[in-house]
Chain A
C-alpha cells in the first residue's frame, strides 16, 4: 500500500507539475488534482523542488564540465590512439574537456593499468582494457558500475543510442554479473565497447580465385583444396600465424577448432571440474590442419606473426588467409598492391557448423578509484568517445573495427569500405574465448603458442603439442582452484 502509492503518487505529481509548467493545466486544476492525490504539502513541495531542479538538468548539457582536464590510459599498439588524438580538438570544441592520451604498448599497458587500479587514486579517469581481461578487472571491482549514469537522461547525450552498441561487444567487455563473476549475464554495466572491437574474417584474392574458377572456401576441405590449387612459387596458396605469437592459438587454431565443433573447456568452476579439452579430436585436428597447410604457406610461415602476414598479403604474395578483420585497413589501403583484387567473406566452417571466430576488442571504463571530483566529467567524455560520430570517424579514417551496429551498415562507409558488412556479421557472431575468464589467460595462451609453434616447426607432433598444453593448462587451472 504505502510504497507503491508513493511511487505512483510522485509519478502522478510529476505529471501534474509537467502539466502546470507547460501550461496545459490551470493553477486551480493543479491544486485540486494534487489535493486529490492525498499528497501532503511537504511532499508536494519536495516533489516540486526536485522536479524543477530535474527540469533544469533534464536538458543534457555537453559543456557542463568545460575546462576539466582528463586523462585516458589506452593501448598504443593499434591505431586507436592516433584516431582519438585526431579528434581531441573536436572534443574540446564540443564539451570543453581537455583529454590527455597516454598510450603505452600492450606489454607495458597491462602492468601500468594494474598499478593505477591498485593505487589509492588513479591518475587516469578513463582506462582502456583488453576484452580478454574483463573478468579479471570486474571481479576485483576495479571499475565503476555505470548504470546510474546510463539511465540518467541528464548525463547521457540524447542521440547516444545505447542499444546501438553491438551486443556481442557489449556482452564481452561491458556487462558483468558480480554474483556469478560472469560476463554477458544480467544488465549491470561496467564498461563500454571501444575503442575497437572486431573478429576474424576470411581474406582472399578474388582475381586468383576467379582465374582458377574457384569460389572462396565455405568449408575447411575447400580451403585446403584452394590452397593446393593456388600455390605457386610467387604466391603462397594460403597463410596463417605460424610464429610463437598471441594470434596463433586465438585466430589460426581457434577458428577451425570452433567451427568443427570444438569445446575448449568442459565442466564447471563451481564444482571444481573445469578442465581443458585439448586432447579432443577437434583440438588435435585443428593443429594438424595447420601443419598440413604448411607446404602451401610461405616458406617462413613459422616466423610469421601479425606484421609479416599483413605485409605478405598486401604485397600480393598470399592467396587467402583467415585473419583479424582489423587488417582490412592496410590490405585495402593506399599502400597495398592488392587493394582492388581482394575480397572478404565469413570464415569457413565444417558442414553443419556456423562460421564463427574469436571475439576481440577492447572496453573502456572509469576506474573505481577515480578522483570523485572528475567522475561525472569522465562519464561525459566516455559517452563522447563512444558516440556514433566518433565510431564512424574511427572506421572511416583508420579502418578500425567498429563497436556500433550503425557504423557497420552506414551507407557512406560501406561504399568506401566494402568489407564492412562482413566484418559486422563476423563481429556479431563472434565467440568469447572461454579461457579469458581465468586469471592466467595470457600465461595459458602463451604456453599453447609455444607448444603449437614447436609442432609447426616440426619438433613435435600435433598430439604431443596438445597433450603438453593440456598438462600445462591443467596445472594452471588447479592453481586457480577451478579444477580439483
Chain B
C-alpha cells in the first residue's frame, strides 16, 4: 500500500514538475493565437481558437518578418562555431590533462577565467577587430568571436573527461608505437566521444543567445540571428503587440524543444559513459 501511495505521489510530482516547466510556454502559446486587443480584454484568455487569427499571427512572424530564416542563421553560426571550438579546444584539454609543463596551472586558470568578462565590455572591441579585417556583416565575422566564447567551456569540460581516462591507456598506445597526436586522435578521442557531445552542447547553449556582438557585427536583416531578429520584433522596452511577440517566442521555442528532447538523452548517456569505467 505504502509503495503504491509512494508511486502515485512520485507521478504526481513528476507531472507537477512538467507543468511548472512548461506552463509559461503554454501560456505564450495561447497568447499567440489571439488578437492584440483580446489579450488585454480577455482575462483569463479563453481557449476558443480563431484559426484565421492564428494563421495571421504566424504568417506575420514567419513570412513578413522571416523568423524562420533567423532560426536557420543561428543554427549555422552556432553550429560551425561549436565545431571549430571543439577542434581547437580538445587538443588543449588533452595537453592540460596529460602533459607537465611550466605554467600549466596558470594557463588553464587563465583560459577558464576568460569566461568571466561581461559581454558589454568586450562587444565593442571585438566588433572593432572584426571590422578591421573587413568581416563585418558576414557569418565568419560572427563565427570567429563565437568560437572564442565556446573555448573555455570546451577546454574545461574536456579536461574533466580526459582526466577520467587512465594514463595506462596512453602508455599502452605508446608501447604500440603511437606518438602524442596519434594517441589523441585514434585512441583517446573515441573514449571521450561523449565528452565532445557534452561540451559541444554546453558551448552551443552559451552562444545561442548571444546578442551584443551580433548586434554590432551584423547589419543586413537577412543575416540576423534569432536574438537579433527577436530584438527587432519585440523591443525589450515596449512590446506592444503581445500576440506577435508570443508567436515569435513559439517559433523560436519549437526547434529548441525538439533539440532539448534529443539532447537530454545524449547528455545523460554521455556523462554517464564518461564516468563509469
Contact = CB atoms under 8 A, between A and B. Distances in A.
Q: Do A and B have CB atoms closer than 8 angstroms in the complex? A: yes
Interface of A: 71, 73, 76-77, 100-108, 111-112, 115, 119, 123-124, 245, 305-307, 310-312, 314-315, 330, 335-337
Contacts of B124: 111, 115
Contacts of A307: 238-240
B127 interface: yes
Given A103-B232, A305-B237, A71 B219 contact: yes
B133 interface: no
B35 A335 contact: yes
Contacts of B127: 115
A241 to B, nearest CB: 11
Nearest to B123: A111
A335 B241 CA distance: 11
Contact of A330 (B35, B216, B221, B240): B240
Interface residues of B, number: 24
Instruction: Kindly name the residue among A307, A314, A336, A337 whose own CB sees the greatest number of chain B CB atoms within 10 A.
Output: A307
Contacts of A337: 37, 41
Nearest to B230: A105
B235 A76 contact: yes
B232 A314 contact: no
A63 B272 CA distance: 67
B175 interface: no
Interface in B212-260: 215-216, 219-221, 228, 231-232, 235-240
Contacts of B131: 119
A77 B219 contact: no
A314 B231 contact: no
A123 B137 contact: yes
Interface of B: 35-37, 40-41, 124, 127, 131, 136-137, 215-216, 219-221, 228, 231-232, 235-240
A105 B216 CA distance: 13
B64 to A, nearest CB: 9
7 contacts: A71-B219, A77-B237, A103-B232, A111-B124, A311-B240, A314-B37, A335-B35
The B interface, classified by DSSP as helix, strand, loop or mixed, is helix
Contacts of A106: 235, 237
B18 to A, nearest CB: 31
A335 B37 contact: yes
A342 B231 CA distance: 32
B235 A105 contact: yes
Contacts of B137: 123
Contacts of B37: 311, 314-315, 335-337
B215 A310 contact: no
Given A112-B215, A335-B35, A311 B238 contact: no
A153 to B, nearest CB: 34
Contacts of A335: 35-37
Contacts of B215: 104, 108, 112
Contact of A101 (B40, B221, B237): B221
Given A108-B231, A305-B238, 14 more contacts: A71-B219, A73-B219, A76-B235, A100-B221, A101-B221, A102-B219, A107-B236, A111-B216, A123-B137, A124-B219, A307-B240, A311-B37, A315-B37, A330-B240
Nearest to B39: A311
B220 A306 contact: no
B276 to A, nearest CB: 47
B232 A105 contact: yes
Given A314-B37, A337-B41, A123 B236 contact: no
